[in-house]
Structure 1
Amino acid sequence: MNSTLDRNPVILIHGIWDTKAIFSKMSARLTQLGWCVHSLNLTPNDGSLSLDSLAKQLADYISQNFEPQQTLDIVGYSMGGIVSRYYVQRLGGINRVQRFITISAPHSGTLTAYCLSLPGYLDMRLNSDLLRDLNQDVMDLRRINFTSIWTPFDIMIVPSKSSKMPVGKEVKLNVMLHRQMVTDDQSINTLIEELKAPIKNKISLKNE
C-alpha cells in the first residue's frame, strides 16, 4: 500500500442536482485511509449551464487550490464524469491528472436527458455535439489510468451501457440504484483499489 506521502489529492465531482455533500461517506472513508480529498459545488447544478462551462469551474478550482506541478486524481460521478472528461480532454487536465475514474457517467449519453431542453441536458443526450467532440480523441485517455465504474441496473443512465468506454478499465458492479453508486461499499472499495493502482508510464504510450 502506498504511503500517504506519495498519494495525489483526490477531487470528487458531483452530478446534476447534487452537491459535494453526496460524497460524505466516500470522502470520509478516503480521508480515514489517508487521502487528501477535495470537492466543489458546481453552480448552477440544475442543467441550466453547459458542461464545458462547468468544466471551467473545475479548472479554476484546480488552478486556485493546487500548484501547477501538483499531480491529481479525479473522480467524476454521473454528470460530473462528463464535466471531468471535458477538463481532462479539453482544458489541459490530461497533463496533470494521473488517475481518472468515472462512476455511472453517461459517456455515450442518456435518454433521461431528453426530459428538459436546458444546455446541460442537451450535452448529455445521445450523440450530442459535446459527446461527439470528446469521443473523437477518447483514445487519448490511454495516457492515464482511466477507469469506468458502472451498474447494469442504472435507470438514470439509459441505456446503462452508456457508461462503458472503449478505453481504460471497466468495472461493472451489481448496485441497484444510481445514487447508491457513491455510497455502496462495493463502489467505494472499488474506487479505493483504483486509487491505489500504479501509474502508467506515459512515455511508453507515445508510439501507440
Structure 2
Amino acid sequence: MKVVLVHGIFNTGHVMRVLQKRLQASGHECFSPTISPFDGRHGIEHAAKELGQQIDAIFGVDANIVLVGFSMGGIVGRYYMQRLNGARRVSQFFSLSTPHNGSYLAYLPYPSKGIKQLRPNSDLLVELAKSEAVLEGVKLYSYWTPIDFTIVPSSSSCWRVAENKSFIIILHLSVIFSRRIAKEICNEIVLSSAA
C-alpha cells in the first residue's frame, strides 16, 4: 500500500522517519513530504495544497493512498481530503494526536495563521466539521494520548466520525515514535485490504 505521512507544525518530514521505517518493514511504500514553511504561517489551506502537489508528484494523480497525519498534519490531511478532492483517492486516514476540536494552546501569541486556525471553533475547524460527509468512503481513525500537553484538552483529538482509540503514551511527539501505534496502523491496513 502507498502511505503518505504528514508531519506537524515546527517539524519536517524527517520527524516521521521512525514511523515510516516501521511501515516500510511491513511492506508499504511510504512518502513523508516536508511541508513548508514549517510554522504554518500561510495557513492550513496553503499546506494542504502543497501536500496535494507533492503526493501527485510522487504517486501520480490517481493512485490510491493511505494518509497518516500527525498533530496539525492531521488537519492539513483533512483539508486536502475535504476541500481539495483528496478523499477520492484516500482509502484510510489515520490522525495521530490531531486537534480535531482545536487546542487552547493555539491561543499562545505566535504570528502564524496555521496556529490560529487550530483554536477551538475557528472558522476553518467549523468549516471542516460541516463538510465531513465527503469522507464517507474513507475509513477514519483517530489515535491519541490522554497524556498530551500540546493538544489541550487532550480529548480534543477525539473525532466524532472516526474510530477513536487512546494509548497511554507520555507526551505529544512520542505518539509518532510508538511501536504500538505503528503496529495498529499496519494491522488496520491489512484488515482493510483483506475486506
TM range (shorter): over 0.9
Instruction: Give the whole-Å Cα distance in 1 for the aligned partners of 2:96 and 2:59.
Output: 24
Whole-angstrom CA distance in 2 between matches of 1:39 and 1:152: 26
RMSD: 1.6
**Does the alignment pair 1:75 with 2:97?**
no
Q: Render the CA deviation track for 1:118-160: whole Å, top value 9, x for unaligned.
A: 2011110110011000000224323211100011111100011
Tell me, in whole angstroms, the C-alpha distance in 1 between the residues paired with 2:178 and 2:57. Answer: 32
* Structure 1 match to 2:181: 187
1:95 to 84, 88, 96: 88
**1:117 CA displacement:** 3.8
CA–CA separation in structure 2 for the residues paired with 1:142 and 1:70: 19
Q: 1:138 aligns with which of 132, 135, 157?
A: 132
Please give the secondary structure, in 1, of the residue aligned with 2:136.
helix
Which residue identity is paired with 2:191?
Answer: A
For residues 47 and 113 of structure 1, the distance between their equivalents in structure 2, rounded to whole angstroms, comes to: 12
The match for 2:167 is 173
Amino acid of the residue matched to residue 106 of structure 1?
Answer: P
* Structure 1 residue ranges without an equivalent (≥5): 1-6, 202-208
Residue 206 (structure 1) aligns with: none
Task: Give 1:39 deviation, angstroms.
Answer: 1.1
Write the letter of the residue equivalent to 1:181: V
Q: Runs in 1 of length 4+ with deviation above 3 angstroms? A: none
Distance 1:10 1:143 in 2: 17
1:33 to 26, 29, 45: 26
Match of 2:78 among 82, 85, 93: 85
Give the corresponding residue for 1:118.
112
Aligned length: 194
Alpha carbons 1:142, 1:167 under 8 Å: kept: no
- Which one-letter code corresponds to 2:126 in the other structure? R
Q: 1:170 to 1:200 in 2, by over 3 A?
A: farther
Measure how far apart 1:200 and its partner are.
10
Secondary structure of the structure 1 residue equivalent to 2:192: coil
Q: Distance in 1 between matches of 2:100 and 2:193?
A: 23
Mapped to 1, the partners of 2:191 and 2:83 lie a distance apart of: 25
Which residue of the partner structure matches residue 65 of structure 1?
Answer: 58
Give the deviation of 1:196 after TM superposition: 2.0
- Matches of 2:142 and 2:74, distance apart in 1: 9
- Output the CA distance in 1 between the equivalents of 2:178 and 2:166: 13
The CA distance in 2 between the partners of 1:147 and 1:26, in whole Å, is 16
CA contact (8 A) 2:8 2:73 kept: yes
Asked if the contact 2:26/2:186 (under 8 Å) is kept, the reply is no
* Separation in 1, partners of 2:148, 2:14: 21
**5+ long unaligned stretches in structure 2:** none
- 2:142 corresponds in structure 1 to 148
Give the TM-score, by structure 1 length: 0.89
Q: Is the 8 A contact 2:14 2:32 kept in 1?
A: no
